[in-house]
Structure 1
Amino acid sequence: MKTEMCLNGENYVVMSNDLIKGKSNLSLNELKLLRLTIMQVLKEDTDLRTYQINISELAELLDITSPSIYRDVDDMTTHLLQEIVYVGDGNPKHKYKKFQWCSDCEYDNGVVTIRLHDNLKPYLLELKEHYTQYVLQDILILKTVYAVRMYELIVEELRTKVYADKVATVDLSLEEIRKATNTETKYEQTAMLKVRVIDSAISEINEKLGYRITYEPIKRSRKIVGYRFTVESKNNIKGF
């Protein structure tokens, strides 16, 4: 049985913290399509479903204007079938688990059909704790993978924080940032990682989502090992 996708961007994307910190090599639209699919999973669901969406609706939702959209979507579904997500359990000494994102993902006759892999059930179904949620629309308006992934990392950490005077701090290690943004073998110099990934991502999040996020390096023996992000609540910023 196939279910038509709900396209309400105000609904929540909910997944386990381990999955949100996972590593995968996805394009921006592939990432957004997966998050759209994850948004379909309901709190009361006990199994994953197969979903369908019309390509014109998908193009509008993801703001795809390419004249080669049919070929692009076909290529995207092929890659999503092949792509693997590496998921840890919070212990750096443990080996990552490897899962396919999808067990079914195809484009045919104007319709995209997608089903998340059953191996992802523990990370998506009946979550009681250690999970992250955010409104899908928040990432739909972001234009880079780095911005989406940095936003997800920060939101994941914010769920465990209590705002003091509507301000919270989030510490992210370089390892966490590199894994989530798939830059473990890119921008080897931390200064370059900051410019190409962190600076651009946080600037976009602040501009598009109305946060006021600043950050400073965390050092150990003069070596930068991570960054501390100070996040001001959107409710405390004039105009939001």
Structure 2
Amino acid sequence: MANKLPKKVSKNLEGTGPLEHLVVKQNNLLEASSPLSLDEHRLIISAIAKVDPRKKLPSKQVNITALEYAESWGLDPKTAYQQLKRAAESLYHQSIVFDRHNATEEFRWIQRKTIYKRGAGQVTITFTDDVLPYITELHRNFTSYQQRNVRHLRSAHSVRLYELLVRFSDQGHRRFAELDDFRFSMDIAGKYADYKNLRKRVIDPAVAELCAHTDLDVAYLPIKRGRRITGLEFSMVRKSQPDLFAVEGES
């Protein structure tokens, strides 16, 4: 049975400010690999949060002002435009990689270099046609969360882990049977081959940030095969904040 966007989600889409906006992604997009910096993550999140996932996006364009960006991420308004502009410029070179049954598919987030409106402190990004089916006209197989849930995260790894776990927050756990699967999902394929380094540089800092600054309390245990660590099992519990939520569609 297809899952419709709940009334609570629709209501929040009509919020009065950037911190009320929802980020809604089709689950295949959420699971795809796209190695982004923290600022690039923030730009994508800001843009998607301005898209109504129930409808078409007629022009494929989204405008983001420096003031909105500063308010959303707790930045100094005096420097927010430069951060926004740099993120938009670098995003042009970033792509999304889907791993589908021993085959890969890759396409870009945006189809042209960003438009800057002089004197307005605003950038305009244009999503590619390939991206639109994953952020618009969504009726099933999606995950949503409030933009403010990730507002205080200061690491790209933390943002990425939050998205991967919030999809399964209702179940309370997520298992990565192989460490390479976790690395791909975290956009660090081929890096941190040593588990101790992976834990020190990626897992522990991200888990600590999620527990301190999001609506999820997170813990994890290594999965072992003999003495060798081969995978990870995450558990998560939603904190007592009824206005913070995520919705998962059918998988």
Smaller-chain TM-score bracket: 0.7 to 0.9
Secondary structure of the corresponding residue to residue 89 of structure 2: helix
Whole-angstrom distance in 2 between the partners of 1:179 and 1:18 = 14
Aligned-residue RMSD, C-alpha: 2.5
Whole-angstrom distance in 2 between the partners of 1:139 and 1:75 = 20
Are the equivalent residues in 2 in contact too, given 1:150–1:177 (CA < 8 A)?
no
Whole-angstrom distance in 2 between the partners of 1:149 and 1:59 = 21
Q: How does 1:32-181 map to 2 (within 5 A)?
A: 32-47=42-57, 49-65=60-76, 70-89=81-100, 91=101, 93=102, 95-104=103-112, 105-109=114-118, 110-159=121-170, 161=171, 168-172=172-176, 173-181=178-186
Are the equivalent residues in 2 in contact too, given 1:13–1:136 (CA < 8 A)?
yes
Deviation at 1:142, TM superposition (A): 0.9
TM-score, with structure 1 as normaliser: 0.82
Whole-angstrom distance in 2 between the partners of 1:19 and 1:169 = 20
Give the letter for the 1:132 counterpart: T
Deviation at 1:194, TM superposition (A): 1.0
Secondary structure of the corresponding residue to residue 227 of structure 1: strand
Question: Which portions of structure 1, spanning 4 or more consecutive aligned residues, are displaced by more than 6 angstroms?
Answer: none
Give the letter for the 1:73 counterpart: L
Counterpart of 2:189 in structure 1 is 184
Are the equivalent residues in 1 in contact too, given 2:69–2:84 (CA < 8 A)?
no
Whole-angstrom distance in 2 between the partners of 1:67 and 1:128 = 39
Deviation at 1:71, TM superposition (A): 4.5
Unaligned runs of 5+ in 2: 1-15, 242-251
Counterpart of 2:230 in structure 1 is 225
Deviation at 1:151, TM superposition (A): 0.7
**In the alignment, which of 190, 195, 199 is matched to residue 200 of structure 2?**
195
Give the letter for the 1:14 counterpart: V
Are the equivalent residues in 2 in contact too, given 1:21–1:179 (CA < 8 A)?
no
Unaligned runs of 5+ in 1: 1-5, 162-167
**% identical equivalent positions:** 28
Deviation at 1:189, TM superposition (A): 0.2
**In the alignment, which of 30, 33, 38 is matched to residue 20 of structure 1?**
30
Whole-angstrom distance in 2 between the partners of 1:117 and 1:137 = 26
Are the equivalent residues in 2 in contact too, given 1:214–1:231 (CA < 8 A)?
yes
Whole-angstrom distance in 2 between the partners of 1:46 and 1:61 = 24
TM-score, with structure 2 as normaliser: 0.78
Whole-angstrom distance in 1 between the partners of 2:169 and 2:80 = 37
Aligned length: 222
Give the letter for the 1:133 counterpart: S
User: Against the structure 1 CA distance between its residues 143 and 212, is the aligned structure 2 distance closer, same or farther, given a 3 Å change threshold?
Assistant: same
Whole-angstrom distance in 2 between the partners of 1:114 and 1:125 = 16
